[in-house]
Amino acid sequence: MNCREVILELSSYLDGDMGADAIVELELHVGNCVDCRVVVDTVRKTVDIYCKAEPLPLPDDVRDRLHAALFKRLAQRPQF
């Protein structure tokens, strides 16, 4: 496995959706490639932080502006 393949398979790897042979290949590459190891560790930590984070309520004015922007954007989409 090369660096490009690690990036393409990263989501499957972190989600546990890879076969055993592919996991071995990926982990072997990551064990020998500092750049890929940093990418895998960073993405893993980012996902972990995101999953543990508590959602913050939006202030009313921000929520209103966001809704207005989304409705405006949706109105500009071509109708099929």
Extents of the domains making up the chain: 3-76
* Cα–Cα distances in angstroms (integers) from residue 31 to residues 11, 23, 65, in the given order: 18, 12, 47
Euclidean distance between CA atoms 48 and 75, whole angstroms: 36
If you ran DSSP here, which 8-state letter would residue 77 be given? S
Q: Using one digit for the tens of pLDDT, what is the confidence trace for 61-80? A: 999 999 999 999 998 877 76
Strands (DSSP E) found in 1-80: none
Which amino acid is it at 9? E
Overall average pLDDT of the 1-29 stretch? 96
Token pair belonging to 63:
């929520």
Is the pTM higher than 0.75? The answer reads no
Q: What percent of the chain has pLDDT over 90?
A: 89
Is 28 in a helix, a strand, or coil? helix
